Structure 1
Amino acid sequence: MTGRPPALSLTHGAPATRVLGLGSTQPDRVVTNHDLAARMDTDDQWIRDRVGIVERRFADEDEQVVDMAVTAGAKALADAGVAPADVDTVIVPNCTMPAPIPNAAAQVADRIGVRAAGAFDLNAACAGFCYGLGIASDLIRSGSAGQVLVIGAEKLTDVVDPDDRSTAIIFADGAGAALVGPATDAGVGPVAWGSAGDLVDMIYMRENRYIFQEGQSVFRWATTQVAPVAMRAAELAGVELSDVDVLIPHQANLRIVEAIAKRLRAKGAREDMVVADDIRYSGNTSSASIPLALDHMRAAGTVDSGDVVLAVGFGAGLSYAAQILICP
């Protein structure tokens, strides 16, 4: 090689990004606390008191992660009024694909009609959607992508021991999606993210088959360490906590959700800030929980277009991430 290497050209994308549309889906099968009590030593009040769940949705044997992701993703495109041909990248955060190859994203893109898409899965467990949303926004702002479909999709019933009371009462199935596109004014803030790999043994796959979590340790960590991440996301976006209309923590446990909200209110968040409690009727759906909750709240009228939303995900890894977004 002689001489200096050529100067590389760098593309510049949109000045900002925004969530353009939302979509979600859940299996038809509703599983109540009474249904679980028929199988294991538990009861409705015990479950409500500890995790706040009333019921959850379980997928049928032939309903897979890819199937749910396709449905949620197609709904997000329809909500945004965007054709599949106008999307060039698909990201599917998940941790429950039955095998690492092939990934979900390429299959999902093809079935939705997004041809020749950049397509990849992302595993940050329950923080996955926030990781995916942050990456989507940065891809668009850098010029590497035009419109990005982010779909959190999980079939946790495939990796939960149905006789393990500590996990079988919590986890469920579903998918939630957001289409991210270019904007003049910012509608997705910078992501505040990180990890605590020294705590990896709190949540892992037992015998490479079933989820195990040290419930009390996870609870203590989440109720003390997650709120500062949410505050950092607001700071990065130039938003005061008092500006936040809606808080959507990962729907891990209602007591954790309420503890995070309490800490944020003590730091300046409003008393009338709406706090997601989708876990009551959806259970913990890992990377799907934040977009599922947002889509459900919008449909119920508890969240309006233009509301300032603070989303924060946290889970196995331990991985965590948060950002401010404007509800479409």
Structure 2
Amino acid sequence: MPGSRIVALGHSQPDRVVTNTDLAQLVETSDEWITSRVGIRTRRIADPGQTVDEFAAAAAAKALAGAGVEPVQVDLVLVATSTAGAASPNTAARVAARLGMAAPATIDVNVVCSGFTHALALADQAIRCGQAATALVIGADFMSAVTDWTDRSTAVLVGDGAGAAVVTADERPGISPVLWGSVPEQGRAVVIEGSPNRFSQQGQAVFRWTTTALPAVARQVCERAGVTPEDLAGVVFHQANLRIIEPLAARLGAVNAVVAKDVVDSGNTSAASIPIALAKLVERREIPAGAPVLLFAFGGNLSYAGQVIACP
């Protein structure tokens, strides 16, 4: 059975930049309050009429072009999203239609913030089992669509966008086996529900879980991949909050790694955060091609999933 690897990445974000000062016009907050608590300075917010699948397709098109892969060659499309807005056609099918694909399997994956790493694992498994040869894995979310803009505890966090990866079969595996799981009894610490759906969370509970329980899990991801934290050239955590990313990276012990901090500029884009942050690191050539990079996501459902990849 072949392995698989990411061969190219792409990302797409709205043009509209919302600063902390802009948010201070909506809720009782300030630039100092936001940066000191979550580390975010700006975020990209979609305009009315723009859709999740529009940005997912744009990110996918960039990734396909980078890989030199035609849309008709893709036989599996996996889109991680919890803000699609429509059940059918699902987002993956809408992306396939936008890009003129032939006859791919089209599957949406809703594991909220850790959706992309779950979807990447499913693509890797499908390729290893011979059920696909070329997969498109996308994380795409419009968190602005499920935000209560009068609630400063969540309004200051969110952003919109999409990131995509082209995954192909390869005799040299470039995606390690996934380590995934959840904490069902605490699943309601992060919710998107209601009529209309609204995002809310138990911020302190999530912070404690991510900074105390997850460093050991991240080290287990490395062990499963056969690397040590010191071997890592890059670390891309879910871009939830800089005050989570920094202590998690320190406790992991990835002392030689570039740690993605795209949350500062993009906010929390849920399932899109890891592929957007990874795509930017690769664009800037901050990580050598082929070097080991830890992808580790966590959040809604109190789910988590991670793997080590070879940097494309």
Place the TM-score, normalised by the shorter chain, in its bin: over 0.9
In the alignment, what sits opposite 1:255?
243
Q: Given the alignment, which residue of 177, 183, 187 partners 2:170?
A: 183
> What aligned pairs does 1:262-273 form with structure 2 within 5 A after superposition?
262-265=250-253, 269-270=254-255, 272-273=256-257
The CA distance in 2 between the partners of 1:304 and 1:52, in whole Å, is 27
In the alignment, what sits opposite 2:203?
215
In the alignment, what sits opposite 1:75?
62
In the alignment, what sits opposite 1:8?
none
The CA distance in 2 between the partners of 1:306 and 1:169, in whole Å, is 36
Deviating more after overlay: 293-302 vs 74-83:
293-302
Counterpart of 1:64 in structure 2: which amino acid?
T
The CA distance in 2 between the partners of 1:174 and 1:207, in whole Å, is 23
- Does residue 1:286 correspond to 2:270, yes or no? yes
3-state DSSP of counterpart to 2:48: coil
CA contact (8 A) 1:230 1:311 kept: no
3-state DSSP of counterpart to 1:148: strand
Counterpart of 1:302 in structure 2: which amino acid?
E
- Does residue 1:237 correspond to 2:221, yes or no? no
CA apart distance, 1:252: 0.3
CA apart distance, 1:206: 4.7
Q: Report Cα offsets for 1:44-91 as digits up to 9, x if no partner.
A: 011000000010000001111000000001111001111112110100
Q: What RMSD in Å do the two structures reach over aligned CA positions? A: 1.0
The CA distance in 1 between the partners of 2:193 and 2:96, in whole Å, is 32
CA apart distance, 1:300: 2.2
Structure 2 alignment gaps of length 5 or more: none
Counterpart of 2:273 in structure 1: which amino acid?
S
Counterpart of 2:198 in structure 1: which amino acid?
Y
Counterpart of 1:326 in structure 2: which amino acid?
A
- Does residue 1:23 correspond to 2:10, yes or no? yes
Q: Report Cα offsets for 1:112-138 as digits up to 9, x if no partner.
A: 122211001000100000000000000
The CA distance in 2 between the partners of 1:77 and 1:16, in whole Å, is 19
Please give the TM-score of this superposition, normalised by the length of structure 2.
0.97
The CA distance in 2 between the partners of 1:226 and 1:61, in whole Å, is 37
Structure 1 alignment gaps of length 5 or more: 1-13
| Overall identity of the aligned pairs, in % | 47
The CA distance in 1 between the partners of 2:212 and 2:73, in whole Å, is 42
CA contact (8 A) 1:105 1:121 kept: yes
- Does residue 1:106 correspond to 2:93, yes or no? yes
The CA distance in 2 between the partners of 1:212 and 1:161, in whole Å, is 9
Please give the TM-score of this superposition, normalised by the length of structure 1.
0.93
CA apart distance, 1:200: 1.5
CA apart distance, 1:301: 2.7
CA contact (8 A) 1:154 1:174 kept: yes
Counterpart of 2:68 in structure 1: which amino acid?
G
Distance 1:86 1:206, change over 3 A: closer
The CA distance in 1 between the partners of 2:288 and 2:236, in whole Å, is 14
Counterpart of 1:239 in structure 2: which amino acid?
V
Q: Given the alignment, which residue of 71, 81, 95 partners 1:94?
A: 81
Larger radius of gyration: 1
CA contact (8 A) 1:56 1:172 kept: yes
3-state DSSP of counterpart to 1:21: strand
Count of paired positions: 311
- Does residue 1:36 correspond to 2:23, yes or no? yes
